[in-house]
Amino acid sequence: MRKIISKSAFFRSIQWRLVLILMLTTFVLMSVVWVFLNARVENIFYEDFKTNIETNYEALGINQENTDFQKLLKELKENALIAGFIHGPDKSYTIIDKSTAEILYSSDELYQTDKIQFRNGIFKSENLLYVLSQDDPEAVGNRQKYTKSERGDFYDYVKIQRLKDGEYVLFFKYSRERALDVLNDFSNAILVSTVISLFAAVIIGSVLSRTITLPINDIMHRAKKITDGDFGYALDVKSDDEVGMLTRTFNFMSSRLKSMLTEITSEKKKLETILNYMTDGIIAYNRTGEVILTNPAAEKLLKSKAADIVSFDEFMSTLGIKLNMGSIISDNKIIEPLHKVQYKDKYIKIHLAIFTDENNQTDGIIAVLQDITEEHKLDIMRKEFVANVSHELRTPLTSVKSYTETLLDGALQDKATAEQFLGVINEETDRMTRLVKDLLTLSQHDGGIKLNFEDISISDLVGSCADRMKREAKLKNQELKVRIKQGIPIIQGDRYRIDQLIINIISNAIKYTPEKGRITVQAHCDKEFVIISVEDNGIGIPAPDLDRIFERFYRVDKARSRQMGGTGLGLAIAKEIAVLHGGNITVKSKPGKGTHISIFLPVRKPHQQAL
C-alpha cells in the first residue's frame, strides 16, 4: 500500500526539487532567449533603418557646392517618395537649422497638425541634441537606438549637412510601432513556449526524478523495516549508475547486518542459557550501582524477584561487607573480592569482579553468588561429629584408664574388687566396640555401600527380630507383642541391614520403656509399602526433639542414653538403612505416654520403582 505523502513532505522531497530545478532552468533559458531575441529584433530594425538611410542618402549626391536648402528639400521630397526610405506612414524626415535649431521642414504628419508637440517629441532624442551640439560636419547621431515619446516611440538617425546657404541637421524618424508588434509576437510566442516547456519540465522532471527517487524510496522503506528487525528480501538493482551502486551497497550492508545480528542473537541466547541454567547466582550492577542483570539462580538464592534486588551499596551493607560503588570506581579495583557471608537462612560465597569500559575504567560490577549453606552445614556437622566421637570415646576410655590404674595400684589383690572393676572395664570396652561398630556402619553408608538385595519375607524377619529381643524385654518384665498381618509380600532388600534396622528400633523401645512396660511390634502393608511399626508406652520424646532424634549423636537425655549403653547413632543408622531401601521412618510420640515408630519399606525394589 502506498503511503500518502503529506504536502510539506512532498515539497521537501528530492522529486520536487528536481522538478523545480528543471522548471527554473527552463524558465531562465526561455528568459535569456526572450531578452536576446528582443535585443536582436530591435537591432535588426534599427540597423535596417540606418543602413537604408545611409546608402540611399549617399546616392542622392548632395554636397555643399552643388546644393542649397531649397534644392535639398526638393531632392528629398522627390527621392523620398520614390525610394520610400525616408518617408512613408511610419517614416519621416525633418530639416532643422543647425544654428537656430528651428525646424525648417518636416514630412511628419504630426508636424502638419501639431508643430509644438512634434518639436517636443523629436527634441527628446539624445541623438539630435548631440548632433546639434557638435561642430564636426561628419557627426552622426546614432547614440541611442530609440526615443520614448508620448505619441509613440521612434528610432531616429541624425546627420549634419552643410549646404551653400548654411548648416542643417537632417533628422530621420522611424516609428517603433512595427518593431513593437514584431516584439509582441515574439514575446507571445516565447510566453507560450515557456508555459509549454515548464509543463514539459514538470512531466519530464517527475518521470526522470522517479527513476532516482523510487529506488531511494525503496531503500528508505527497507531501512525502516530493518530498524524493526524485518530483513526480508534483497532489493532489485535496476541500474548500473550511482543509485544502482547505492542499492547494491545497501543490500550488502543489510546482509552483513543480518548475519551480524544473527551472530549476536545466538551469542546472546547462549549467554542467556548459560546464565539461566548455571547454579551460581549472577548479579550485574552498572556504575551507578543499579541492577542491570540477574539470573534465576541469584533470584532463588536471595529469595527475591529480579525487580526487588536492591542496589549494590544496599546489598553490600545488608551482607555486612564494607564496600561501596564510589570507592570501587575511584580505586578502579576491588581489593577484597571474595567474601563468605550469611544472608537470611543461607550461607553465601560472594565473588566480586569489575568490568571496564573502553578506557579501562570501572563500568560496573558482577557479583557471583554461590550457595554454600550445605557445605557450611556439613562443615559444622563434621566438626560436631569429630567432637562427639572424641567425647563418646573419652568417657569410656577415662573410666577404663582409672579402673586399670586402681587395679595396678593394688586393687588387683582384692579378688572381689578386681572382678567388679574388670567387669566395668569389660562393659566400657563393649560400649567402645559398639560405638566403633556404629561409626564403621555410618562411614560405610557415607562411602556409599552396595546393598545385597535378596528376597525377604518381612513377616519372618520381624518375627525373628522380636524373638531375639524377647529375652531383653523379659529382663525388664516388659510385654513384647507381635502382630503380623497376613499377605505381606516378599520384598527385595538387604537382609542384614533391615534386620539391624528392626533390632535398633525394638531395642530402643525396650531401652526407653520402664519395667513392666508394653511393646507392640506390628507389620502390615499397603499398595506401595510394607510398614513395620514399633509402639511402646515408655518415656516418650518431647515434641521439640522429634525432628532431631535421627541426627547422629542426638540424644534426648544424654545421661540416660549412656546409662542404657546407647551411642546416639542407632536411629541415624536406622533412618539411613530405610532411605537406602527407598523407604523412610516416621515417629509419633508423647512424653510419658509412649512412642510409635513406623518403618516404611517399598514393596518394589527402589531402582525398579524409579523405572
> Which residues contribute to the site for ligand ADP (CB under 6 A)?
508-509, 512, 536, 538-541, 549, 554-557, 561, 566-572, 595
Residue 406 CA to residue 424 CA, distance in Å, equals 12
Q: Kindly state the helix (H) or strand (E) to which residue 386 belongs, with its residue range.
A: helix 373-408
Of 219 and 539, the one with the shorter C-beta distance to ligand ADP is 539
Give SS3 for 592.
Answer: coil
CB 286 within 8 A of CB 364: yes
Closer residue to ligand ADP (CB): 354 or 569: 569
Q: Which is nearer to ligand ADP, 385 or 554 (CB)?
A: 554
- Provide the CA 196 distance to its chain's centre, in angstroms: 55
Please identify which residue in the block is written with the cell numbers 546639434.
132
Closer to ligand ADP by Cβ: residue 26 or 561: 561
H/E stretch holding 184 reads helix 177-227
Grid cell listed for 440: 564403621
Cα distance from N-terminal residue to C-terminal residue, the chain: 61
Counting every residue written for the chain, the total comes to 611
Q: Which of 226, 213, 242 is nearest to 234 (CA)?
A: 226
**CA–CA separation, 604 and 582 (whole Å):** 9
Least distance CB 479 / ligand ADP (angstroms): 15
Rounded to an integer, what distance in angstroms lies between the CA atom of residue 257 and that of residue 259?
6
Q: Are 117 and 179 in contact (CB under 8 A)?
A: no
Q: From the CB of 332, what's the least distance to ligand ADP, in Å?
A: 57
Cα dihedral 117→122→123→129 (10° resolution): -170
The least distance separating ligand ADP from the CB of residue 528, rounded to whole angstroms, comes to 25
With CB atoms as reference, the residue minimizing the distance to ligand ADP is 566
Locate cell 564496600: which residue? 323
Minimal distance, residue 590 CB to ligand ADP, in Å: 10
For residues 514 and 344, what is the distance between their CA atoms, to the nearest angstrom? 44
Q: How far is the CB of 476 from ligand ADP (least distance, A)?
A: 13
What 3-state DSSP class applies to 249?
Answer: helix
C-alpha cell at 598: 513406623
* Residue closer to ligand ADP, measured from CB, 303 or 590: 590
Other C-beta atoms lying within 10 Å of the C-beta of residue 355: 13
Nearer to ligand ADP, 531 or 572 (CB): 572
Q: Using the minimum distance from each CB to ligand ADP, give the nearer residue, 459 or 561.
A: 561
Least spacing, CB of residue 557 vs ligand ADP, in Å: 6
Nearest to ligand ADP of 171, 512 (CB atom): 512
Nearer to ligand ADP by Cβ, of 149 and 508: the residue is 508
Q: What angle do CA 183, 189, 193 make, to 5 degrees?
A: 140
- Name the minimum Å distance from CB 566 to ligand ADP: 2
CB 576 to ligand ADP: min, Å: 11
- Cβ of residue 292: shortest distance to ligand ADP, in angstroms? 52
